[in-house]
Structure 1
Amino acid sequence: MASMRNGGMWLLPAVLLGLLGLGFHQLFALRFDAGDVYPAYSSFRADPLGAKILFEALEAMPHVDVEQRLKPFAEMDGTNSTALFLGGSTGSLLHETERDLRPFVESGGRAVLAFGSVEPRINKSKKKDDEPKGDSAEMNEWVSVSESDGRIDWEVELEEFVRSDLTEIEQETEALPEAAVGLPSIPWKSALWFSELGEEWTVLYRYLGKPVVVERPYRKGSLVLLADSYAFCNEAMVQDRHTAFLIRMIGAPARILFDEQHLGVHSQEGVMMLVNRYRLQGVLFVLLAIAGLFVWQRSTSFIPRHEEESGPNDIGSGVGSMSGFNNLLLRHIPQKKLLETMVSEWIATFARTPSMQAKRTRLESELRNLDAGKHPVETYNKLTQILNERK
């Protein structure tokens, strides 16, 4: 019984820990399903700020391989492929992708780089020198990089509308296509625009007369720059989707890559990464259940154990002849009463056993004919011989 009680003591904490782990799993599952743990415009994010709807829509298309890229593009072949960089920081997106993108674009890939929406800031002429530098302060630092150092020469600058343009920005909510493009207008949320465009660039869309979507060929591939990523996000997919615009930006490749690394989402190979990749969550839960059963089995027995509750001086059906004789001696019975007491105890034990009635009669007869001068041990041996006789 003690082992069963110990098993119960182990089982209760195990059940409580299991319920606690299940609760944490559900909590994190809800967070990751919504995706708000990921940056804005991430294809893992399912709320209005993410791009999961576009990713899943493209993934459902036949004959198209869609991938969430968590590693650098270095030395990747871009043949018949499109890479989407959505929601990038204005001061770092091009710096981080220039060198990695060059082999991809040169081999025939199409790179679509869309910046995150930026609110209009104060007038440049009023900006103080000691004001903290952010993305806006880095606008013009990545322009016209030479190809001699192994980078792409972008030949473009990025500017912002300032507060003096706020009235026009509030009134104008769409970017208009160039006449030759033949595309519909699209919703626009950002104050960014491109300037100092090189001859290779073609303007596709303008906002307040400024270029906001531009495209250029580069070797075998092409580059597309967008000053806003809103048209790709989940909110736009639900409320104001423009399929023709998306097709023009992405093209018709056999492979589409959603880059997540520029948003800070990196791949870290580990046990849980392999579990998620090969969908082994069920196997993991089975292993945990087996481990719990092993601990339970080691702490208790499924078969109840027999525990003797009889004391050292008790005689029962499970006690042998020598043990019974020793118990009689320990009770300090007088020598004259020893054999009589022994027989009385035997009769009391087997009084209801039919097969022992014949031996009972012989024992009582032998005890009545007992020679008073005979040694008790000899008489005990005689009585034992009677008990051991077989029919």
Structure 2
Amino acid sequence: MIKKLQKKFILITVGVLAFVFFAVVLVMNTVNHASMVNSLSHKIDMVLEDNGRPQNHGEAPFSARYFKVIVDGDNISVDLNRVATVDEEEALTAYRVSKHNSGFYENFYYKRIADNNKIVYVFMDASMERQSFNNFMIISIAVSLGGLILISSLVIIFSKIVTKPILESYQARKEFVTNINHEIKTPIAIIKATNEVIELEQGPSEWTQMIDKETIRMDELLKKIMFISKLDEDSFKLQKQLVCFSDIVAEISDSFKLLAVSNGKTIETSIEDGINLYGETTMLGELISTLLDNAIKYAKDKTINLNLFKQGRLIYLDVSNDVDRIEVGEHNYLFERYYRKEELSSHQHGYGLGLSIAKTITTLHGGKIKAISENNHSIKFEVIFEDKKK
């Protein structure tokens, strides 16, 4: 869990930094490109003054290599006096492909200028400017990548410092859970054994039955706490394989039918055959058991409905039952650890661990779980898995 938290912190931070660096590089190069275009456009304006002989504007002299294509009605002429590497055919080709008022053609920047009844296309050599722009772009990207790598390294180091108190707290909690399991298991076993001796000597009574019931509840609580602790460990890995989910659901639901009857309730099932799923049989069985156990505890009326079916790539498992009263909508807060919603039932005991376990198991299998109430007197727990085979 701590490693997942650390990875999430690193990914989010590095992702934000990468976006910032990308935005900065993009803005810098966009501004640089606009500056290059403005400079080339200004050069063209200057060489056109006084019929191609630039006037003295107080600027440093420059060597401008350019050629012109003059369109006068149907007549097209070419001026190659200021360029030696372009012949007339190449100049006409450049003119034909230059459809906009300005832009780039190979290493030339061109500009379309209306002069009385003529249209003049000036193609200014931009090889030096483009080389300078490309160098700037490469350097800016390299510097940004270097900065991102450096800062990412610092983020990784910083993440260890940030998560250290959480790790220490997690280790302390883990040790506490282990210790409390050992410390409480023995007294529970002694109480249970003593209660059995009293029942053998004096016979069962209301008090001994209550003691037996509470020791069973405490034992179940310890098992759930240890199970959650196991799921939270970073080293925990599911042993997934292709299993018949339909068979698992049918087997677990059949085993709960007797328990439901003993509580004055029935489980009605609709299970589609042949639904396979990559997962761990034990964990999937625990998921179904948790949902059915929760339904038996909190169902107001006698009937509990369990459905398993497949639509396209998605596998749906839902367990629904009636309750005293509940608000319409989603109730995903029920999956929060140690949360107990009194509106489900005012007379049932619980510790708010079961549904949290169900959510963890579902997540480990790449699925989603939600609690939905379509009216004020029923609730449905819906689990959705994706068929990874297709």
Q: TM-score, normalized by length of structure 1?
A: 0.24
Higher-Rg member (1/2): 1
Bigger share in strand:
2
Higher relative contact order (CA 8 A, sep 6+): 1
Q: TM-score, normalized by length of structure 2?
A: 0.24
